[in-house]
């Protein structure tokens, strides 16, 4: 049974009888209505709009019949049949997607009650679909066309019928005319039809595979690309464009002939790199369907006819420089030896074949060889299958040179084309001078003279960083702001060294830039008497010829200040008391200064100190006694200098964090002779001679055991003015001033540890590395 989606129930039997009676009563008028002429449009609905393609599935077809002029009495309750072509497997429309699916039918009915434009009646129905015969059968009921549910009015005329959402799978083959019919059974013999033309769909493409064929890269030929394009049924596809790609790069487009065959000779071999290459062909039909296929071919180089020799980079003196020797074919492309090939190599300066040899070749040259590297060669061999060789060239001259390679095939007694490379041997031509740090500064961050300055130098060639190709000596010389080194300044002197040394380490041996170094750290030691700022340049000097081969730009060093960090004045011809808050630097040597070095500007007879453990005084050997912080020393000065003597302290620096810890001294019960080590809390009040802090801070570590501190007096050179100090219940004695360099007596009721408030300053050396 056919199902109606807009069927109105109730009086269906009566309505059918009324409709039949109407048709009989007006049979004469109805039969007098002539159908037609009628026409039919068949088109797909969707993205393709009016284009339909072969081998397309689920095409949503719309059939629109116009100019029908059908009497409603012979239209409703009569079968309307839509028929699609069926035949061979490749030319049959498959209607199975429409089985059981709802279809929309729109009918335009004219009648005087419907006005001039008529009325469109919409019917949703599930028609009967027979895929075997290609038919879709509808039964439009008269009840669908009445007024208020009644049957159709008398003399109603069907002008148009539009059926939508008939789904079909298109046939595979293309045809000039696939005829679709709409048959109205109420009018025997009357139908409308339409020829549906389908766009041809591509089915497959084949490219003949030239795999196994080899082409020389310098041959002026092309790789043939041919094949065939097939449509859906497997017949040749005529007139379709085929795009050709080489290694995914578009090359050209060709078109198939009447048999679907295409051919192109558009891929030139010349210039292609040796190895496997991929050809891809692609064809796309008007429906947007694409097919592709690939093939491969091999490009090889020809037999060698000569050799190339060339340096991979600039050639630098006294350095192993990479040189490439390459066999080439007749087109100059790299290739490989077929026979064992001997290649002689040589280099000369000036006229070819003279005795002025420009350098030596080596097969295995380690980085930066010594002056006499081993492994020198005059020739080497290419074995079959080899074609590239890296040699190492060590120049023996400067300037323009020529390198030459001469290939020979012993088996064939044949010389191949030789090659020469004219090049230039360079050396470094400049340097970059970098100031890393002033290692010791005063409270204003000005560098102290005598202490090393951490600097570095970078050899350059043409402005770019370059490893040194000799062992160069570094010299630092004065200059003006333009870098002119022809003048001197204040006769100040410098000392330089690669290694970090102590205060004013004037070794005078100079620093060395070792070959292959791209950056060298070294240290400048300015004279301890140097003051102010100076413009300097760093020079790289050939130590053999004493020639300046490279020079940095000018850089300003300074403003230099005194290296003296504490100064004590001793009166002549009397006992004087002094101490040191830190270990004192030795000059030009590692370690800490002894008393003789500390008092080098003082004329004296004796140095004595109280031995707390022995409980007695001892005469000290100045040369073997290190000036220790927290100890007090009595010095008997001579009368030679009426103005007295100045003791200048330059404190030692350390490079390891563990060496900067403030020192500690164990004190015994009773009286102890001590020095102090304090931070200057009033550093801008004549900081060089009067470094002061409160007595409580200086002796804080022995506070619990200390009952009394005695100042021996200013006649012993102490700066402190008070005589004794105690601190009971935080009395005002706590704020008495004490001074670095003074010596005091402290009385303890039990053993205590006296701790310094300051330690040695740490130098942040760029070259220091902790020991594991």
The domains of the chain are located at 3-196, 202-300, 306-426, 430-560, 566-755
Structure-token pair, residue 136: 């879709």
| End-to-end Cα separation, the chain, in angstroms | 99
Cα separation, 570 vs 718, in Å, equals 10
User: How does residue 432 score in pLDDT terms, banded at 50, 70 and 90?
Assistant: very high
**363 DSSP 8-state letter:** S
Same fold, 202-300 and 306-426: yes
Sign of CA dihedral 105, 110, 114, 115: positive
Asked if 450 contacts 565 with a C-beta cutoff of 8 angstroms, the reply is: no
Q: 16 to each of 19, 157, 228, how far by Cα in Å?
A: 5, 18, 63
Structure-token pair, residue 552: 């940095």
Mean pLDDT, the chain, integer: 85
In 3D, which of 244, 256, 323, 325 has the Cα closest to residue 285? 256
Cα separation, 39 vs 78, in Å, equals 20
User: How does residue 283 score in pLDDT terms, banded at 50, 70 and 90?
Assistant: very high
Q: 699 to each of 281, 501, 662, 721, how far by Cα in Å?
A: 96, 34, 14, 17
Residue in the block written with tokens 């630092």: 476
Per residue in 585-643, pLDDT tens? 998 778 899 999 999 999 999 999 998 778 889 999 999 999 999 999 999 999 989 99
Q: 468 to each of 430, 460, 513, 541, how far by Cα in Å?
A: 11, 8, 7, 12
Please tell me which residue, 717 or 173, carries the higher pLDDT value.
717
How would you classify residue 253: left for phi > 0, otherwise alpha for psi between -120 and 50, otherwise beta?
A: beta
User: How does residue 14 score in pLDDT terms, banded at 50, 70 and 90?
Assistant: very low
Residue in the block written with tokens 């081998």: 55
Asked if 709 contacts 694 with a C-beta cutoff of 8 angstroms, the reply is: no
Residue in the block written with tokens 């380490």: 505
Q: Give me the pLDDT at residue 32, please.
A: 44
Give the 3-state secondary structure of 80-130: EEEECCCCCCCCCCECHHHCCCCEEEEEEEECHHHCCCCEEEEEEEECEEE
Cα separation, 349 vs 356, in Å, equals 6
User: How does residue 2 score in pLDDT terms, banded at 50, 70 and 90?
Assistant: very low
Q: Give me the pLDDT at residue 212, please.
A: 55
Helix (H, G, I), strand (E, B) or coil at 698: helix
Give the 3-state secondary structure of 483-515: CCCCCCCCCCCEEEECCCCCCCCCCCCCEEECC
Per residue in 486-526, pLDDT tens? 765 544 578 888 888 777 766 666 788 887 788 998 888 88
Please tell me the pTM assigned to this model.
0.55
Cα separation, 524 vs 517, in Å, equals 19
Structure-token pair, residue 338: 């077929």
Full strand arrangement of the beta sheet holding 128-130: 128-130, 135-138, 80-83, 178-184, 191-196
Cα separation, 73 vs 61, in Å, equals 28
**700 DSSP 8-state letter:** G
Residue 305 has pLDDT above 90, yes or no: yes
Q: What is the CATH number of domain 3-196?
A: 2.60.40
Q: What are phi and psi of 392, to 5 degrees?
A: -125, 125
**273 DSSP 8-state letter:** P
User: How does residue 739 score in pLDDT terms, banded at 50, 70 and 90?
Assistant: very high
Select the CATH number that applies to the domain covering 430-560 from these four: 2.60.40, 3.30.70, 1.10.3470, 3.30.420: 2.60.40
Structure-token pair, residue 201: 């769909």
Residue in the block written with tokens 């109603």: 156
Per residue in 113-138, pLDDT tens? 888 889 999 999 999 999 999 999 99
Tell which CATH architecture fits domain 202-300: Sandwich (2.60)
Select the CATH number that applies to the domain covering 306-426 from these four: 3.30.565.10, 2.60.40.10, 2.40.30.40, 1.20.1090.10: 2.60.40.10
Q: What mean pLDDT is predicted for residues 463-480?
A: 85
Helix (H, G, I), strand (E, B) or coil at 54: coil
Residue in the block written with tokens 């200086």: 698
Per residue in 355-405, pLDDT tens? 678 988 998 876 556 555 667 889 999 999 999 999 999 888 888 899 999
């Amino acid at each position: 049974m056919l199902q109606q989606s807009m069927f109105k129930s109730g009086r269906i039997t009566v309505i059918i009888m009324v409709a039949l009676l109407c048709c009989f009563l007006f049979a004469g008028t109805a039969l007098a209505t002539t159908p037609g002429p009628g026409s039919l449009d068949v088109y797909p609905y969707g993205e393709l709009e009016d284009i339909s393609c072969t081998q397309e599935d689920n095409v949503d077809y719309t059939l629109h019949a116009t100019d029908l002029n059908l009497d409603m009495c012979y239209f409703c309750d009569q079968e309307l049949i839509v028929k699609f072509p069926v035949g061979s497997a490749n030319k049959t429309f498959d209607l199975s997607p429409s089985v059981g699916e709802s279809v929309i039918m729109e009918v335009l009915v004219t009648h005087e009650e419907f006005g001039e434009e008529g009325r469109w009646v919409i019917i949703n129905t599930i028609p009967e679909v027979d895929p075997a015969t290609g038919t879709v059968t509808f039964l439009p009921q008269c009840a669908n066309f009445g007024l208020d549910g009644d049957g159709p009015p008398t003399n109603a005329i069907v002008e148009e019928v539009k059926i939508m959402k008939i789904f079909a799978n298109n046939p595979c083959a293309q045809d000039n005319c696939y005829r679709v019919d709409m048959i109205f059974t109420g009018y025997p013999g009357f139908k409308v039809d339409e020829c549906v033309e389908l766009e041809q769909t591509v089915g497959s493409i084949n490219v003949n595979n030239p795999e196994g064929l080899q082409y020389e890269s310098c041959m002026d030929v092309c790789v043939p690309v041919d094949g065939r394009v097939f449509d859906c049924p497997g017949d040749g596809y005529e007139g379709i464009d085929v795009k050709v790609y080489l290694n995914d790069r578009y090359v050209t487009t060709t078109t198939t002939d009447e048999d679907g065959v295409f051919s192109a000779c558009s891929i030139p071999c010349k210039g292609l790199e040796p190895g496997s290459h991929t050809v891809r062909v692609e064809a796309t039909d008007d429906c947007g369907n694409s097919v592709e296929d690939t093939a491969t071919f091999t490009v090889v180089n020809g037999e060698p006819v000569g050799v190339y020799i060339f340096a991979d980079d600039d050639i630098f003196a006294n350095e192993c420089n990479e040189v490439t020797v390459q066999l080439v074919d007749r087109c100059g492309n790299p290739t490989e030896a077929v026979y064992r090939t001997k290649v002689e190599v040589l280099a000369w300066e000036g006229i070819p074949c003279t005795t002025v040899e420009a350098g030596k070749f080596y097969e295995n040259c380690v980085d930066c060889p010594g002056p006499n590297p081993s492994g020198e060669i005059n020739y080497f061999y290419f074995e079959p299958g080899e074609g590239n060789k890296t040699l190492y060239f060590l120049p023996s001259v400067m300037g323009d040179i020529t390198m030459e390679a001469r290939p020979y095939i012993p088996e064939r007694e044949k010389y191949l084309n030789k090659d020469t490379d004219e090049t230039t041997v360079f050396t470094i031509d400049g340097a970059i001078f970098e100031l890393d740090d002033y290692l010791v500064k005063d409270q204003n961050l000005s560098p102290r003279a005598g202490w090393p300055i951490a600097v570095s130098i970078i050899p350059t060639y043409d402005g770019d960083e370059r490893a040194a190709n000799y062992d160069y000596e570094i010299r630092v010389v004065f200059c003006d702001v333009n870098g002119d080194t022809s003048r001197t300044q204040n006769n100040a002197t410098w000392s330089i060294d690669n290694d970090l040394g102590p205060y004013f380490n004037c070794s005078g041996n100079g620093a060395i830039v070792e070959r292959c170094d791209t950056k060298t750290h070294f240290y400048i030691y300015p004279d301890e008497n140097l003051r102010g700022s100076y413009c300097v340049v760093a020079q790289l000097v050939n130590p053999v010829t004493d020639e300046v081969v490279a020079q940095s730009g000018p850089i300003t060093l300074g403003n230099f200040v005194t290296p003296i960090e504490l100064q004590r004045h001793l009166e002549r011809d009397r006992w004087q008391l002094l101490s040191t808050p830190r270990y004192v630097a030795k000059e030009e040597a590692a370690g800490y200064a002894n008393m003789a070095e500390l008092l080098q500007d003082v004329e004296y007879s004796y140095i004595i100190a109280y031995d707390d453990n022995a409980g007695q005084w001892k005469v000290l050997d100045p040369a073997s006694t290190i000036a220790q912080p927290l100890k007090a020393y009595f010095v008997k000065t001579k009368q030679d200098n009426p103005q007295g003597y100045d003791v200048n302290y330059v404190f030692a620096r350390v490079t390891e964090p563990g060496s900067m810890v403030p020192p500690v001294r164990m004190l015994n019960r009773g009286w102890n002779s001590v020095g102090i080590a304090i931070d200057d809390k009033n550093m801008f009040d004549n900081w060089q001679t009067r470094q002061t802090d409160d007595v409580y801070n200086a002796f804080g570590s022995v506070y619990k055991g200390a009952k009394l501190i005695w100042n021996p007096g200013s006649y012993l050179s102490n700066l402190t003015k008070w005589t004794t100090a105690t601190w009971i219940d935080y009395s005002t004695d706590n704020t008495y001033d004490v001074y670095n360099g003074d010596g005091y007596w402290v009385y303890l009721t039990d053993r205590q540890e006296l701790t310094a408030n300051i330690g040695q300053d740490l130098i942040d050396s760029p070259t220091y590395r902790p020991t594991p």
